[in-house]
């Protein structure tokens, strides 16, 4: 049974961990730091021993302190599923800046760790809809998130379905192209962040913001994520974009609303990326 002393020590470890994450991520947001400090990471992992992965090397441990650093922790090594790099997620969460009262759609919720952090950031009055295609992970995520009344976990793909209206769509797995329904779900001023991986194993994280006249898009850091399960492949109608093309992206368009033009960087079945700068009209 955990004693008060154990709880105090665990809280101190989480506080130091959260402070280190925001330092590594270059985040100056006390709300994000406090959210990482409040959520116990070990509650969203398989039972110990845990496999901690750093620089591609996996090491087994039973020490809780070993998982409170900027390391990956395996969830299922055979499927290549891990708990994600915490500093990267601190950066992404800061970028999309969930606010109290907002609705978040979390694509690829895994065992619910970052879902829990997002749910804290939208309190009071906000809600998180988590989608996890792997049924066993979704079932465990529901158990892990019991007591968080502002979260729902759906054991299904978030691809190819009409989604609830949201202020943030947070995608935790690599996609060849974003689903058009993610764009349609965004409220005015809504933010979508996702790992765009047209080359399968790498590509930029992209921040998309719904403007009055379309969707601005800005590539962020280069990342590598496991592919999003339950997606349908949408082949490009032109050659794969080069690194220069990826860096040039400034807007994203739904093809039924505007067909590709000379500014197109990459064209997919339902959407296309453009190098055209979106005018910053008020929403």
* pLDDT given for residue 163 in this prediction: 97
pTM: 0.92
Q: Which residue has the higher pLDDT, 234 or 78?
A: 78
User: What pLDDT is recorded for position 71?
Assistant: 96
Q: Classify residue 133 by burial, with Cβ atoms within 10 Å: 0-12, 13-18, 19+.
A: buried
List pLDDT tens digits, range 6-49: 455 788 999 999 999 999 999 999 999 999 999 999 999 999 99
Domain that holds residue 134: 76-274
Q: Mark 148-161 as b/e (b = at least 16 C-beta within 10 Å).
A: bebbebbbebbbee
Report yes or no on 85 lying in a domain. yes
283 token code pair: 């929403």
Across 117-134, average pLDDT: 97
The DSSP result for 42-82, as a single string, is GGGSPSSSEEEEETTEEEEE--GGGGSSS-EEEEETTTTEE
Span 252-279, pLDDT tens digits:
999 999 999 999 999 999 999 999 997 7
Residue 47 located in a structural domain: no
Q: What is the CATH number of the domain that holds 208?
A: 3.40.50.150
- Domain membership of residue 11 (yes or no) is no
* Residue 98 placed within a domain: yes
Domain count, the chain: 1
User: Is pLDDT at 143 greater than 80 in this prediction?
Assistant: yes
- Dump the DSSP string for 176-234: SS--HHHHHHEEEEEEEEEEB-TTSS-EEEEEEEEETTEEEEEEEEEE--PBPTT----
Which parts of 108-198 are beta strand (E)?
127-131, 151-154, 166-171, 186-195
With respect to residue 67, please indicate whether it lies within any of the assigned structural domains.
Answer: no
Is 27 among the domain residues? Answer: no
Is residue 190 situated within a structural domain? yes
**Residue 6: per-residue pLDDT:** 47
Task: Give how far Cα 52 sits from Cα of 6, 55, 73, 153, 225, Å.
Answer: 22, 10, 5, 26, 17
Q: Would 51 be classed as within a structural domain?
A: no
């Amino acid at each position: 049974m955990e004693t008060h002393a154990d709880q105090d020590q665990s809280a101190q470890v989480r506080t130091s961990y959260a402070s280190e994450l925001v330092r590594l991520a270059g985040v100056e947001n006390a709300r994000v730091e406090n959210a990482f400090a409040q959520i116990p990471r070990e509650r969203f992992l398989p039972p110990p021993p845990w496999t901690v992965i750093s620089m591609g090397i996996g090491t087994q441990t039973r020490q809780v302190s070993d998982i409170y650093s900027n390391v990956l922790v395996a969830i299922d090594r055979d499927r290549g599923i891990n708990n994600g790099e915490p500093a990267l997620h601190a950066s992404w969460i800061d970028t999309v800046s969930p606010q109290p009262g907002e609705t978040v759609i979390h694509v690829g919720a895994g065992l619910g760790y970052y879902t829990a952090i997002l749910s804290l950031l939208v309190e009071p009055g906000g809600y998180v809809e988590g989608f996890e295609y792997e049924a066993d992970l979704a079932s465990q995520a529901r158990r892990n998130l019991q007591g968080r009344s502002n979260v729902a976990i759906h054991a299904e793909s978030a691809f190819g379905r009409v989604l609830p209206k949201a202020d943030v769509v947070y995608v935790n797995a690599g996609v060849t192209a974003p689903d058009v329904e993610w764009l349609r779900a965004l409220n005015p001023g809504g933010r979508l962040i996702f790992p765009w991986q047209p080359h399968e194993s790498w590509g930029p994280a992209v921040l998309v913001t719904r403007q009055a006249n379309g969707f601005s898009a800005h590539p962020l850091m280069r990342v590598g994520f496991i592919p999003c399960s339950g997606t349908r492949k949408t082949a490009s109608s032109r050659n794969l974009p080069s690194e220069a093309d990826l860096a040039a992206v400034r807007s994203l368009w739904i093809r039924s609303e505007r067909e590709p033009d000379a500014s197109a960087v990459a064209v997919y079945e339902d959407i296309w990326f453009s190098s055209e700068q979106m005018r910053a009209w008020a929403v």
